[in-house]
């Protein structure tokens, strides 16, 4: 806390209303301060660190403190969501405007310095780059220009790929993004984690203010509600998800089962991960390159075999999933028939390969359930239809929650006026109290000083409405008279 004696020269250099001071001590958290009417108020602690210009011109810097100057906004600012995604821009454009995590902190600060924003957060993934900003003015051209300049691209080249949402549409956009309604795969859950990471990066950079802080917290709550109240993420929509989902339907006791996966590419790796997460009892991976199979099973406590060893291990598997690029069948009907003689229990085979890895005649064997990739596509399409129905429910939730946020945003107009009124009243109070204390120090009777203080405060605080009442009466302005009467409860109602 800056002492009153030290504060006066500090305040003398800062007479501009709406200035935020932010310094970092050698220990403890940074502190935000606001200078209004030449008085200093602490607003809130923050872990961020951002500066627009140093206070070398102030004339007073506390010992062991580094100070920075940053404007704050006393009134609600235009909210903007600007960006491009997999629907509006090809990958070669998206990769040119992506932000690497290690440069995000610098980019956020630069956006505040040169992009016309008071607050900012950046969401950058493989499918989208989006800027969420509280703007200084209702003009987003500075943000577009900044995005182009930062990535050394002419803004005119970016413009055809950009979408821009303001105010209510911006709120709706971020809620839909976080709920997975705007994703390449409808309802996918990873995007919420990416939105949370964007929030954390902006928080660490010190570029969040009241508007975006509230927006992101509201977004997280709505995304959770969508996940809880709808089945948007309940049905698998990838072949790996669908394959494991099918296995769970057939084998309720998956932890007691064994699986043989043939191949070691991305699809099999994803299948292995899903099976592991669902508690599969035993995992075997067969691959043409044994080293690759060893590398894959290392993370899932399984073991690897070569393709030539598959017949010897068929009897251990209740579930077999293949995904290779082999030109011929890797599993013949005769091999599966022999394994059934040894095991005498059903087996599920899922062939995700094109061309197929499993001979179609296997489906004619008893106790064998064979599914090809086209069979899973039907499951995926059905699940997509299920998600689309859930998406309609999610849109209804979002419609309601957009209005809730906009109601809060509209209320900030009143909140800014209330803050200004309170600060004005506190300034009058402090001035009157200071004068009263000086009079008491000079030996004046304390009772007299108390009466003078009360009269002074009364006169100064009612002066503005009294002037307004006289002017309204003189001009015959009945609406203004009524407004002032209602505001000050002059109709006989009690003032709370």
How high is the pLDDT of residue 375? 82
Of 44-58, 83-97, 208-222, 337-351, which range is least confident? 44-58
Q: In whole angstroms, how far apart are CA 262 and each of 31, 250, 340?
A: 58, 20, 18
Q: Is the pTM of this model over 0.85?
A: no
Residue 313 CB coordination number (10 Å) = 16
Q: Chain-centre distance of CA 312, in angstroms?
A: 51
Higher pLDDT, 308 or 496: 308
Q: Tell me, what's the pLDDT at 236?
A: 64
pLDDT bracket for residue 345 (50, 70, 90) = confident
Mean of per-residue pLDDT scores for the chain: 81
* Mean pLDDT within 234-251: 82
Give the pLDDT score at 343. Answer: 77
Output the furthest CA–CA distance in the chain (Å, rounded).
113
CA distance 275 to 288: 22
Is pLDDT of 35 > 50? no
Can you give the pLDDT at residue 102?
87
Q: Is the pLDDT of residue 8 over 90?
A: no
% the chain with pLDDT above 70? 83
Q: What is the mean predicted confidence (pLDDT) over 424-444?
A: 91
> Averaged over 359-384, what is the pLDDT?
85
* Beta-carbon contacts of residue 12 (< 8 Å; ≥ 6 apart): 59
**Share of residues in the chain with pLDDT > 90 (%):** 50
Distance, in Å, from the CA atom of 425 to the CA atom of 460, rounded to the nearest integer, reads 9
Q: What's the whole-number mean pLDDT along residues 123-152?
A: 92
Tell me which of 22 and 462 has the higher pLDDT. 462
Residue 77: the pLDDT is 64
Res. 2 pLDDT band, cuts 50 70 90:
very low
Closest CA to 211 of 345, 404, 63, 75: 75
Between 57 and 160, residue with greater pLDDT: 160
Res. 32: pLDDT tops 90: no
Task: Taking residues 5-33, report their average pLDDT.
Answer: 36
Residues serving a catalytic function are 126
pLDDT at 132 exceeding the cut of 50: yes
pLDDT tens for each residue of 185-196: 788 888 999 999
Q: Which CATH number fits domain 239-376: 3.30.2270.10, 3.40.50.720, 3.40.50.2000, 3.90.600.10?
A: 3.40.50.720
Of 486 and 225, the structure prediction assigns the larger pLDDT to 225
Taking domain 79-232+394-411, whether its CATH number is 3.30.460.30 is answered by: yes
Domains 79-232+394-411 and 239-376 belong to one CATH topology: no
Residue 69 pLDDT more than 80? no
Residue 68 vs residue 176, higher pLDDT: 176
pLDDT at residue 484, as a whole number: 83
> What pLDDT score does 445 carry?
92
Q: How confident is the model at residue 496 (pLDDT cuts 50, 70, 90)?
A: very low
**What are the residue boundaries of the structural domains of the chain, listed by start?**
4-71, 79-232+394-411, 239-376, 422-487
Q: Is the pLDDT of residue 464 over 70?
A: yes
| Banded pLDDT at 492 (limits 50, 70, 90) | low
Predicted confidence (pLDDT) per residue in 402-412, tens digit: 999 999 988 87
Residue 186 structure tokens: 């409808």
The model's pLDDT over 96-127, given as tens digits with 9 standing for 90+, comes to 899 988 899 999 999 999 999 999 999 998 88
Q: How confident is the model at residue 5 (pLDDT cuts 50, 70, 90)?
A: very low
Residue 45 reports pLDDT greater than 90: no
The pLDDT of residue 158 is above 70: yes
């Amino acid at each position: 806390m800056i002492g009153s004696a030290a504060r006066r020269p500090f305040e003398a250099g800062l007479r501009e209303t709406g200035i935020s001071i932010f310094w970092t001590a050698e220990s403890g958290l940074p502190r935000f301060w606001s200078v209004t009417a030449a008085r200093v108020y602490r607003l809130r602690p923050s872990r961020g660190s951002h500066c627009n210009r140093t206070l070398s011109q102030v004339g007073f810097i506390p010992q062991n403190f580094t100070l920075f100057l940053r404007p704050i906004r006393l009134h609600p600012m235009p909210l903007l969501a600007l960006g491009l995604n997999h629907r509006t821009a090809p990958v070669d454009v998206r990769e040119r405007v992506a932000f690497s995590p290690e440069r995000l902190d610098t980019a956020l600060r630069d956006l505040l310095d040169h992009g016309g924003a008071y607050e900012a957060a950046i969401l950058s993934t493989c499918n989208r780059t989006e800027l969420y900003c509280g703007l200084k003015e209702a003009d987003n051209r500075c943000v577009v220009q900044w995005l182009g300049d930062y990535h050394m691209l002419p803004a005119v080249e970016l413009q055809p790929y950009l979408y821009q949402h303001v105010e209510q549409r911006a709120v709706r956009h971020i809620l839909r993004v976080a709920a997975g309604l705007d994703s390449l795969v409808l309802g996918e859950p990873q995007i919420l984690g990416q939105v949370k990471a964007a929030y954390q990066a902006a928080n660490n950079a010190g570029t969040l203010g009241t508007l975006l802080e509230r927006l992101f917290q509201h977004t997280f709550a709505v995304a959770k509600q969508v996940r809880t109240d709808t089945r948007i993420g309940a049905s698998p929509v990838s072949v790996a998800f669908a394959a494991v989902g099918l296995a769970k339907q057939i084998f309720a006791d998956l932890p007691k089962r064994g699986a043989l996966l043939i191949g070691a590419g991305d699809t099999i790796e994803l299948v292995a991960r899903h099976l592991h997460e669902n508690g599969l009892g035993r995992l075997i991976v067969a691959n043409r390159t044994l080293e690759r199979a060893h590398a894959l099973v290392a993370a899932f406590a399984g073991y690897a075999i070569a393709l030539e060893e598959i017949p010897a291990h068929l009897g251990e598997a209740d579930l077999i999933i293949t995904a290779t690029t082999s030109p011929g069948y890797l599993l013949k009907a005769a091999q599966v028939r022999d394994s059934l003689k040894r095991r005498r229990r059903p087996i599920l085979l899922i062939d995700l390969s094109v061309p197929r890895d499993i001979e179609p005649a296997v489906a004619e064997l008893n106790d064998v359930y064979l599914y090809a990739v086209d069979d899973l596509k039907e499951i995926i399409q059905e699940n997509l239809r299920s998600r689309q129905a859930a998406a309609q429910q999610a849109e209804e939730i979002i419609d309601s929650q957009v209005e809730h946020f906009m109601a809060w945003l509209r209320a900030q107009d009143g909140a800014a006026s209330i803050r200004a009124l309170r600060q004005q009243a506190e300034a009058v109070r402090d001035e009157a109290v200071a004068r009263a204390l000086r009079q008491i120090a000079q030996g004046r009777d304390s009772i007299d000083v108390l009466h003078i203080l009360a009269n002074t405060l009364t006169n100064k605080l009612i002066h503005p409405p009294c002037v307004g009442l006289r002017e309204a009466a003189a001009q015959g302005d009945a609406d203004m008279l009524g407004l002032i009467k209602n505001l000050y409860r002059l109709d006989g109602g009690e003032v709370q």
